[in-house]
Structure 1
Amino acid sequence: MSLLLKVENLDFKYQDTDVLKGINLEVNAGDFVGILGPNGCGKTTLLNNINQWLKPHRGSIYLKNINIRKLKPKILAKHIATVPQDTSIEMSFTVEQVVLMGRNPYLVNFEAEKERDFAIAEESMKYMDIWHLKEKPVRELSGGEKQRVLIARALAQEPELLLLDEPTSHLDINYQWELLGFLKKLCLNRGITIIAVMHDINLASMFCDKIILLKDHKIFKMGPLIDVINEKNIKEVFNMDVHVCFQEYTGRPVIVFLGRKENINIPRPFNTLHVICGGGEGEKLLHYLKKRGYEVSVGVLNKGDTDWLTAKMLGFDVIEEVPFSPISDEKIEENTKYVKKSEAVLLADVPFGYGNLKNLVCLKNILHQKKIFVMEERAIESRDYTNGMASQIYRDIRDRAVVLHSFDELKSFL
C-alpha cells in the first residue's frame, strides 16, 4: 500500500496547555484507522490539525509527500474531507443542497453547479442511501439520516482522505453498525482512506484495520488492530480491567469490561446532585455517583442519548427532550426545578451546540445559589460549536465553580 499521510513531530497547544505532543504517524492509502483514547487526550485536535482547521505549533503534515501548509484551502478540500462531531444544520436546506456544498472546492466564487456537480452529488446520495430524501429539509431528518447526509457531502468533495469525529455518537446501535458498514465499504470499494475518532472500543475493533491509541496527549500505541487492542494496553490507557476474547470467524478482539474497584465507603459531601451531561460524557460519572449512593437527577437529555439510556437504567430522574430536537423552554423550566432541589450541580465535559446551549444558560442563572463542579478534561474552545456563545457562558460559570481536570480528581471531591 502506498503512503498517503505522514505526520512528523507534531505539537499543538491551546494557549499554554499542551494538547498534542510529539505526534508521529503514517497512514497508507485505503486504511481504516480508528483513534481511541480518554476524554481530553487530543483525539479531535489531531483531526483538526490534519485538515488544517488548526495550525500546529511545531511539526509537519504531508499528504503524498506534499507539505499541506503549501496547499490552498480549496486544493486541500479536494483531497481531505471532514465530518465533524456536531451534526446540527440550523437552516432549512434540503438534503440535495447540503450535499452539493461538497462541490464548493471545484467552483469559483458565485459559480453555479454544473451537470457534473449534480451527477457526483447524486452518486454520493445514492451511495449513502439518501437519494429518496433529496428534497426533504435536513432539519426534519433523524440523527442517523443527518449523519449520512454529512458523509454524502464529504464524498461529494471526491476526497482521498475522510476524517470523522465520533461518527456514531448519538446513534442507536443498529444505526451505528449500518453507518460503519457504509464507511468500511468506502475503504474496500473506493479505496478512500478513513481516520475516525471512536468512542466505543468494540465498534472500532469490528470495523477498523489499524488503531491509534492516545494517552496524555501522545501516541501510546499505534499499529494493526490485533497489536493494539489487548488487555495490557486498555488497562494502561483507560485504567479499566478488561478481558479480551476473539470472534470465531473474524479473529477480531472483543472487549469485556470488568470495571475497577472504587472506594465508595468515604462520607459523601452531599446527598443530592444534578448532573448536566450528554453524548456519553456522563456515562462513567453516573455509574460512579450511583455506586456512591447519591440521589441524582439528570438533564436536559434527548431520548436515545447514551447518557439518557445510562441514567434511565440507573433509575435516576431524567429531564428528557424528544430525540434530535433543541431543548425547549418548557424542559429548561423543568430542569431548573431539579437544579434548585439539588445540593450541588455537576457539569460534565460536554460539547455544546445550539441544541443544548440552554443547559449552560440554565446553569448560569443559578450561579449564586448552588455549589457547582465543572469537569474540564478538554478546553471549552475545542467543544464549542456555537461560534463562541457557549465559551462565553461557560467561562462565567467556570469562574465560580470548582474545576476538576480528571475523573480521579472528581473522586477526591465527590
Structure 2
Amino acid sequence: MPEEILKVKNLSFKYDDKNILNDISFTLDVGDFVGILGPNGCGKTTLLKNINRWLKPHKGSIYVDGSNVFKLSVKDLAKRVATVPQDTSLEDISFTVEQVVAMGRNPHLKSFEHEHSKDMLIIEDCMKTMDVMHLRDKPINQLSGGERQRVLIARALAQQPTLLLLDEPTSHLDINYQWELLELLKNLCIKKSLTILIVLHDINLASMFCNKVILLKEHRIYKMGYLHEVINEQNIKEVFNMNVRVDYSNDQKRPVIIFLNLANEDAQSRPFERLHVICGGGEGERLLYYLSQRGYKVSTGVLNKGDTDWKVARLLGFTVVEEIPFSPITEEKAIENISYINESDAVILANIPFGFGNLKNLECINQLVAQKIIFILEEQDIENRDYTNGKAAKIYNHIKTRATVLNSMEELKKII
C-alpha cells in the first residue's frame, strides 16, 4: 500500500466573511505529481498557503508524514514541506546562486551554525539536479526567469522535503522552459520519491506531466483522480465553462483538450480535415497552436526529440514522426514521414532553415509534389535559410512551382 505523505481533511478557509475554501479533503501518496486546476479565484493558491501554514484554516486539519502541521515547529515543518511561490522577482537581491540554494539548509542548522561538508554536498547535488551548477557564482538578479525558477526549486530541494508545493512555476516561461522544468520535476517524483503538488494554468501541461489532478470549482474540489477520471469534456465544461474535445490519440494516451469554440464555429469553413506540417526549431509553434484551435487533425515531422516544435506538437496531442536528438533524418523516418504526407489532405511547409540534418524533409515533400496540395509559409527567402550549399534551395524552388505560397500567418489563416 502506498505511503501517505499529505492528508487534508475538511479544510475550510475564510478571508473576513468570504469563503475561499470549503470542506477540502484529499490525500497524496509518496511519488505523486498532482496538478491543481481551476478558474481564477477558485482558491488554488490559498490551498497551498494553508498546507504550508502561511495561512491558518477556519477549520479542518492537515497532516504531513503523519504529523499535524500546526503542531510542528517552523524548522520541523520546513524539513517536511518546501514551497516555490508564484512571485520570483529578485531584482533587489544580489546573492549568488549558491548562496540562495544554501538557504534551503537553514532548517537543518542551529542558529549561527555554518554549513558542514555534508550540507555542501547536498547543496551541490540540488544545483546539479536543477541544472544550475554552472551558475553557482552568478548573482541571482542577473538570471533569466527560467534560470531563477530552477534556482528557487533547487533551494526548496535543499530543505530535503517529502512534499514540494509550487504555485504556477511555468506561468511566465516559454514552451522550452515549461517543458524542461516539468520534466525535471517529474523525474524528481520518479527517482527521488518526492511528492509534488503544483498549481498549473494549462490543462494540457498538467495532463502531459502529472499523474493525478485536482479540479477546483467555486472553492470546493469538483473532482480529483487520475487523468482519465478527471479530464473529460463534461468536467471541463462544468468547471471552466468551455467547450472542448478530449483526444487520446497521442503516443502516451494521455488526455489532450482541444478548444472547440473556434473549431465548431469554423468547422464548415475548414477546407481540409487532415494536415501534415513540416516545421522545426520553433518556427511551427504559432502554426501548430492555430491548427489545434481550428480543430484540424494534424501530423508533423520529422522532428528531433526535444525540439521546440516537437514539444508543442506533443503537448497538443498531434502525431509526431520523431528522430533522436541532434541526429540527421534517417531513411526509416523519412519513409514514415512520407506515409503521413500521403494520408494528409494537404501539407504545410513552415518558414524553417534547412541544413543537411533536415534536408530529407524537403525531399519527402518533393517525392509527392505532383500528388499533394502544398502550402508554403514563406516569411523569408529560402536563400537566407539554406545551409546546404544550395541543395535545399534547388528542391524548395521546385516544390514552390507546384505550391501555394503564403507570406504571413495572416494570409494562411484566410485559406486554412
**Corresponding residue SS for 1:78:** helix
Using the aligned pairs only, state the percent identity: 65
CA–CA separation in structure 2 for the residues paired with 1:163 and 1:36? 14
Separation (CA, whole Å) in 1 of partners of 2:95 and 2:65: 35
Q: How far does residue 250 in structure 1 lie from its aligned partner after superposition? A: 1.0
Asked if structure 2 preserves the Cα contact closer than 8 Å seen for 1:21 and 1:217, the reply is yes
* Count of aligned positions: 261
2:42 aligns to what SS in structure 1? coil
Pair 1:126–1:50, CA change in 2 (3 A): same
Query: 1:87 & 1:36 partners in 2: Cα distance?
Result: 21
The runs of 4+ residues in structure 1 deviating greater than 4 Å are none
**Deviations along 1:183-218, whole A, 9 cap, x unmatched?**
000001000000000010000000000000000000
Alignment of 1:120-269 (within 5 A): 120-259=122-261
In structure 1, distance between residues paired with 2:136 and 2:77: 27
Structure showing greater Rg: 2
| Structure 2 equivalent of residue 25 of structure 1 | 26
Shift of 1:258: 1.6
The answer to whether the 8 Å contact 1:42/1:217 transfers is yes
Match of 2:113 among 95, 111, 114: 111
Quote how far apart the aligned CAs of 1:65 are.
Answer: 2.3
User: Secondary structure of 1:189's match?
Assistant: helix
Paired residues of 1:80 and 1:160 also in contact (CA < 8 A): yes
In the alignment, the residues of structure 2 paired with residue 29 and residue 155 of structure 1 have an alpha-carbon distance, to the nearest angstrom, of 16
Superposition deviation, residue 260 in structure 1: 7.8
Q: Bigger CA drift: 83-92 or 180-189?
A: 83-92
- Look up the match of 2:7: 6
Residue pair 1:240, 1:260 contacting (<8 A) in 2 also: no
Q: Is contact 1:38–1:215 with CA below 8 Å preserved after alignment?
A: yes
Contact map agreement 1:241 1:260 (CA 8 A) in 2: no
Per-residue displacement from partner, 1:38-62 (whole Å, max 9, x unpaired)?
0000000000111111110100001
Write the letter of the residue equivalent to 1:245: D
Tell me the amino acid that sits aligned with residue 232 of structure 2: N
For 2:37, the equivalent position in structure 1 comes to 36
**Which residue matches 1:366?**
none
Aligned-partner Cα distance in 2 for 1:122–1:181: 20
Query: Which stretch of structure 1 is more off in the superposition, 87-96 or 236-245?
Result: 87-96
Contact 1:95 1:133 in 2 (8 A): yes
SS in 2 for 1:41: coil
SS of the counterpart of 2:239?
helix
Superposed CA offset, 1:332-390 (max 9, x none)? xxxxxxxxxxxxxxxxxxxxxxxxxxxxxxxxxxxxxxxxxxxxxxxxxxxxxxxxxxx
**1:367 aligned residue:** none
Distance 1:67 1:76 in 2: 9
Letter aligned with residue 139 of structure 1: N
In the alignment, the residues of structure 1 paired with residue 103 and residue 66 of structure 2 have an alpha-carbon distance, to the nearest angstrom, of 28
Shift of 1:64: 2.5
TM-score, length of structure 1 as denominator length: 0.62
Matching residue of 2:77? 76
For 2:260, what is the secondary structure of its paired residue? strand
Normalising by structure 2, report the TM-score.
Answer: 0.62
- SS at 2:94 equivalent: coil
| Alpha-carbon distance in 2 for matches of 1:247, 1:136 | 44
**More deviation, 241-250/219-228:** 241-250
* Secondary structure of residue in 2 paired with 1:175: helix
What amino acid maps onto 1:78 in structure 2? K
Distance 1:223 1:246 in 2: 17
Task: Decide which moves more: 200-209 or 244-253.
Answer: 244-253
Q: Which amino acid aligns with 2:112?
A: F
Instruction: Find the counterpart in structure 2 of residue 276 from structure 1.
Output: none
Q: Which residue of 2 aligns with 1:102?
A: 104
Q: Calculate the aligned-residue CA RMSD, in Å.
A: 1.2
**Could you report, residue by residue, the CA deviation over 1:251-303 in whole angstroms, capped at 9, with x for unpaired residues?**
10001012389xxxxxxxxxxxxxxxxxxxxxxxxxxxxxxxxxxxxxxxxxx
Distance 1:67 1:127, change over 3 A: same
